[in-house]
Amino acid sequence: MKKLKVTIQLEMSVPDDWELSTTSEGGHVLKLPNDQYLDLAIEPLFASDPEDTWSSTEDNDALNDILDMVESEEVTYEFVTH
């Protein structure tokens, strides 16, 4: 089996009332209004043709097979103020 390294970097404009929250394991997630939390992470998307619409799978076994291949994941959150 060979290694695949995927780097995900997003820049988003978000509402001012979003906050960073630290999990019990020291990671970070976003705290949204109404006591909801958001974690941006990998979600495999599938299509039968690369020009078709991509969607997640309803097959939990296929999804778990892909996620089991992930050895580590790092997501960094930082608010930028100007």
Q: Which residues contact 77 (CB under 8 A, 6 or more apart)?
A: 20, 28, 29, 30
Each residue of 10-43: pLDDT tens digit? 889 999 999 999 999 898 999 999 889 998 888 8
Yes or no: say if 55 and 19 are a contact pair by the CB < 8 Å rule.
Answer: no
pLDDT at 16: 93
Residue 15 has a pLDDT of 93
pTM (2 d.p.): 0.66
Please report the pLDDT score of residue 46 as a whole number.
86
Cβ 56 vs Cβ 45: under 8 Å: yes
- pLDDT tens-digit map of 58-74: 888 988 898 898 888 88
- Backbone φ and ψ for 28, nearest 5 degrees, come out as -120, 145
